[in-house]
A and B are shown apart, each in its own frame.
Chain A
Amino acid sequence: MSDQLSRLALSDEGFVFNPQTGDSFQVSETGIVVIRLLKEGRSDEEIAARLTDLYEVSLEEAQHDCADFRARLKQFELA
């Protein structure tokens, strides 16, 4: 997990604030779950499995969404 990711402040409403850069953005309910698990240091496989528990989604689709989400985090230099 990157330092930036571990420092992110995440509210229950999905408002994310990066204290290092001052950037802020909004994530969906699923995004909140994923960021919380990433901050806990969970792997993509563990996160995808958790998403299948919470939502009606196949493991393959959850893995794909996780990869997409991580790509977006990279775009923001957070992963």
Chain B
Amino acid sequence: MKALHIGLSGINAIDNPGPGIAVARSLKEDRELGARIFGLAYDALEPGIYMDWIVDRAFIMPYPSGDGAAYLERLGYLQREHGLDFLIPNFDAELPFYVKHAEGLAGRGIRTFLPTMEQYRLRGKDRLDEVAERMGIKLPRTRVVNSLEQFYEAIKELGLPVMVKGAFYKAYRAHTTAEATHHFHDLVAEWGYPVIVQQVVSGEEFNVIGLGDGEGGSLGLVGIKKISVTALGKIWTGVTIKHQAMLEAAERFIREYRWRGPFELECMARNGDIFLIEVNPRFPAWAYFATGVGVNLPARMVRRALGHDVPPAPDYAAGKLFVRYTYELVTDMDKFQKAITRGEIP
């Protein structure tokens, strides 16, 4: 069988890991797919570059900023020199670029399976009230503010502590008005308006990983509970769960929005209520958890996108444990040197 060359980003398997290694590992486990993985890195020290049992070739990429010409040129090089059949962007910030260029890439024989731009915009925290309503779950009381005056009014209305969030990135918990104001200014300086002020919901953190087929159907869902997280809030241990209300809400999300591609829903559960915290329009870094319980979403996505046979979404067992661990590899300095000088390994 001809190898399928798949380029993917997010191979920064660090303490705040990108999803790339989990996605690559899942693809490798579907042996019939014959995936050959091209890791797309932004830094020569991204660990995935050196994990040659998962990443077959690695390339240093320019950022897809501005008109993205340099990035497209680099992809063109990959395709000319090595062949490139499929691309999986694993960072939120890459998605607008990829969504915009998906058609052009397809015209060059490089496939993707992504949400539309309208679907992508739903992840904006200023749209979550609408999303939560259509999913039939709750949203913590939220105010979208565009000035410092509105910000103070929102804090007064919601009471402390509050979450102070950028429209797309970063979220801080603040216990005092001074602390909240500090975060507000940081967010405005970095991301601009609007800023989202949200009630703090205490409870248990439940997450769902899913894959929509773009026609309202689900290609697979797995629900988990985070048992322990790192100082950065990243999952370290978790367990699969079957929280019916949450899984049904995820199915409604796919159906209502005809979602295409992978996604992660972050929710809080309290006294039987489910609160929507965030929608991520990509695979989460813990995507291999689903693969480990028999729901290989990256492989199912590629199969679906390429028109291959995709069996019905498999079920999974509740009570499967996810344990992340640390590991080290020792290799030659030569690889680092090649990443720096040639931007390509091996």
Q: A interface vs B, CB < 8 Å?
A: 9, 17, 19-22, 24, 77
B319 at the interface (CB under 8 A from A): yes
Interface size on B, residues (CB 8 A): 16
Q: Within 8 Å CB of B239, what residues of A?
A: 22, 24
- Near A by CB (< 8 A), chain B positions 196-253 give 204, 206, 224-225, 227, 239-244
Q: Are B204 and A20 in contact (CB under 8 A)?
A: no
Q: Are B243 and A20 in contact (CB under 8 A)?
A: yes
Q: Within 8 Å CB of B227, what residues of A?
A: 22
Q: Which residue of B lies closest to A20 (CB)?
A: B243
Q: Within 8 Å CB of A21, what residues of B?
A: 204, 225, 241, 243, 269
Question: How many angstroms between the C-alpha atoms of A24 and B204 in the bound complex?
Answer: 13
A17 CB, nearest partner CB in chain B, Å: 5
Residue among A20, A22, A77 with the highest chain B CB neighbour number at 10 A? A22
- Near A by CB (< 8 A), chain B positions 309-346 give 318-319
Q: Within 8 Å CB of A22, what residues of B?
A: 204, 206, 224-225, 227, 239-241, 318
Q: Within 8 Å CB of A24, what residues of B?
A: 239
Q: Are A19 and B272 in contact (CB under 8 A)?
A: no
Q: B interface vs A, CB < 8 Å?
A: 204, 206, 224-225, 227, 239-244, 269, 271-272, 318-319
Question: How many angstroms between the C-alpha atoms of A77 and B271 in the bound complex?
Answer: 8
Q: Which residue of A lies closest to B317 (CB)?
A: A19
- Chain A to chain B contacts (Cβ below 8 Å), 30 pairs: A9-B318, A9-B319, A17-B318, A17-B319, A19-B241, A19-B242, A19-B318, A19-B319, A20-B241, A20-B242, A20-B243, A20-B244, A20-B318, A21-B204, A21-B225, A21-B241, A21-B243, A21-B269, A22-B204, A22-B206, A22-B224, A22-B225, A22-B227, A22-B239, A22-B240, A22-B241, A22-B318, A24-B239, A77-B271, A77-B272
Q: Within 8 Å CB of A17, what residues of B?
A: 318-319
Q: Which residue of A lies closest to B238 (CB)?
A: A22
Q: Which residue of A lies closest to B272 (CB)?
A: A77
Residue among B225, B240, B271, B272 with the highest chain A CB neighbour number at 10 A? B225
Please provide the 10 A-B residue pairs with the shortest distance between their CB atoms, ordered closest to farther.
Answer: A22-B225, A19-B318, A22-B241, A22-B239, A19-B242, A17-B319, A20-B243, A19-B319, A19-B241, A9-B319
